Structure 1
Amino acid sequence: MQRVNRISIAAGLVCFCLLIGCKASTTTDEPTSESSEKPKVALIMKSLANEFFSTMAKGAETHHQQSGQYELVVNGIKDERDVSRQVALVQEMVASDVDVIVIAPADSQALIPSLRRAIKAGIIVVNIDNKLDAEMLRKEGLQIPFVGPDNRAGAKQVGDYLATHLAEGDSVAILEGLQTSENGRARKAGFEEAMNEAGVKIVDSQSAEWEMAKANEIASSMLSEHTEIKAILAANDSMALGAVAAAKSVGRSDDLSIVGFDNIAAVRTAIRDGKVLATADQYGDQLAVYGIETGLKLIADENAEVADVETPVDLITKETLDAK
């Protein structure tokens, strides 16, 4: 592609300048004559109100400052469910003539048409966090690498650990993410697999759409309707914190086990305080970095294989936190 060749030549010029002592700025608002030599990367995330994504943005900005080899534009939406705004952001980045879009899609299918247009415009697209629908990508004839963890395996680790604190026949409930998001479905499947293997009954499972307030409301209802519930498995940490608030409101703080997924700071505190049992760490501060590095590699070599990259996901408990 001509676009990629121009970027490769420009990247070579930047390296030559650095070798002879030229100093390049790492800021995104540097002069056009200098910044035009660098690839321009757009990071498009979900809700920046969610600590996980604000951590992701900070990690990307730190990497950008340390690298100095590309420009970075960071975007996010206010609401996890605002798919139309995320579609508009993709269109804005295409119009801005970026070279790479690294996206954590709010919906696994709805973003694909706009991303197809971005690819046709010569932009490299990298998918992080929430995997785009594989069947729809095949139908569209698109190859978009997914850079992220195995969400099902991560959720199963959390579920397996929870099972060691339960007895066969105990009852639990699940707070699901958005049902149109692949990572939400994968985490639910991992939780279900762990509970089924342990002989634990799932008596209720509802979507709280990744939101803390909605999780509080739904978990309160679950605990009132099913007083036998011994644990709540939340597909992200925001919902786990909502479940913590619900448990407190119905007087179940001491005998209800709650697990989450993401390892945000507030949940680490809750784990140390005994309010949350466990979570999964998918290294949110590095997740966008992994995607950016993949995009830069594809720019550097237009013949590089477009392949998925599995990133780490680890179980976090009080024991693992105390060991650090």
Structure 2
Amino acid sequence: MTSKLKAIIAGTTAVAALSLAGAAAAQEYKIGITQNNVGVDSYQTTYEQAFISAAEANENVEAVVLDAGGDVARQIAQIQDLIQQNVDAIIIWPTNGQAVVPAVRQAKNAGIPVIVTNSNIAEEGFDFIASFSGPNNIQQGASSAELMCEALDGSGNIVQISGQPGYTTAIERQKGFEDRLAEACPDVTIMETQPGDWNREKSQRVMEAFLVKYDNIDGVYAGDDNMGVGALNAAKAAGREGIAFIGATNFAVGYEAMGRGEYYGSIYQSPVDDAEAALQTAIDVLDGKDVPFLNYFETPKITQENMGEFSKPVF
């Protein structure tokens, strides 16, 4: 067997594929992936590396690896290019869960199964996808709310830094957090929510503005640790102490901040698991296996108390 990975990491819609010929004893698949924005944070960078490694390790997979650079129009064009290439399956990490639905419909109509990874598309597009592989973002938000309740002992005033507007993960984590917070500790009040766009520097600026506006911030919930640590840095620079920081998607910087006692808790999520699960889900769909429509992987709570049970994140 000589078939190898052909990975094309491109920010444009032009797709060039290298070809290696070889006799196959098993079914070979050409699988395309269009990602959200590899350069925006270390999670997505590590995800891409893990996806490429997983595809390289499977001699029956030829992979076309693309990055939309956060541009929904580019991602739609990339999906259309993959359809034109007649790939066997398309994996999409949506830049915008609503805007990509028509392109996903086109893939479905072309007979190409679509697997959504990490962040789901809008519910109206569910009829056009074979499976979603990734975390349960609603549950992650709910678990973060429970951590906030613990940290504040059931009462206090908090601010929220959400992810990229229009991005399903951001929407779901915020909803899960707000709904569960209202149930579990109604005496915790969210004073304001602003987007941090998954960016540490922007989140630091958002937190700086919160600190000027509010004298009584007891806690901060951020949609991921990258943003949460940006908020922590702002508070440290301002000399504001006694604030509980809760995140999701435990980054190395969040893990380290927990170890210093500066960060209360987060949700442990591996980009390596995420990438490998997406590729395996696509292969299982193509092999005709029975795959859950919502194919979640486990994302447990991590705090200062139990962090020793978890390896430091590689991203």
TM-score by length of 1: 0.83
State yes or no: 1:38 paired with 2:24. no
Q: How does 1:1-324 map to 2 (within 5 A)?
A: 23-28=1-6, 31-34=19-22, 38-49=28-39, 50-78=41-69, 80=70, 82-134=71-123, 136-137=124-125, 141-196=127-182, 197-198=184-185, 199-252=187-240, 254-301=241-288, 307-324=293-310
Q: 1:266 to 1:73 in 2, by over 3 A?
A: farther
1:177 and 1:184 in contact (8 A); partners too: yes
Give the Cα–Cα distance (whole angstroms) in 2 for the partners of residues 225 and 271 of structure 1. 26
Per-residue deviation at 1:27? 3.4
Structure 1 residue runs of 4+, over 3 Å off? 29-32, 303-306
Question: What residue is the counterpart of 2:12 in the other structure?
Answer: none
The code of the aligned residue for 2:114 comes to: V
Deviations along 1:140-164, one digit per CA (max 9) or x if unpaired, are x524421222211112212212221
Give 1:260 shift.
1.4
Counterpart CA distance in 2 for 1:44 and 1:170 is 42
Unaligned 5+ residue runs, structure 2? Answer: 8-17, 311-315
Give the number of the structure whose alpha-carbon radius of gyration is greater.
Answer: 1
Distance in 2 (CA, whole Å) between partners of 1:264 and 1:165 is 20
Report the Cα distance in structure 2 between the residues aligned to 1:68 and 1:240, rounded to whole angstroms.
Answer: 40
**What letter matches 1:177 in structure 2?**
G
Could you tell me how far apart the structure 2 residues matched to 1:76 and 1:155 are? 27
Please tell me whether the aligned partners of residues 92 and 117 of structure 2 are also in contact (alpha carbons under 8 angstroms).
Answer: yes
Structure 2 counterpart of 1:275, which letter? E
Q: Does the 8 Å CA contact 2:3/2:60 hold for their aligned counterparts?
A: no
**Residue-by-residue CA offset, 1:41-99 (whole Å, 9 max, x unaligned):** 11222221211111111221222232222112222233x4x212222221222233321
Q: How many residues align?
A: 295
Contact 2:114-2:129 at 8 Å conserved across structures: no
Identity of aligned residues (%): 22
CA shift digits 1:301-324 (9 cap, x unpaired): 2x8567221221111222332234
CA RMSD of aligned residues (A): 2.3
Preserved CA contact (<8 Å) 1:60 1:286: no
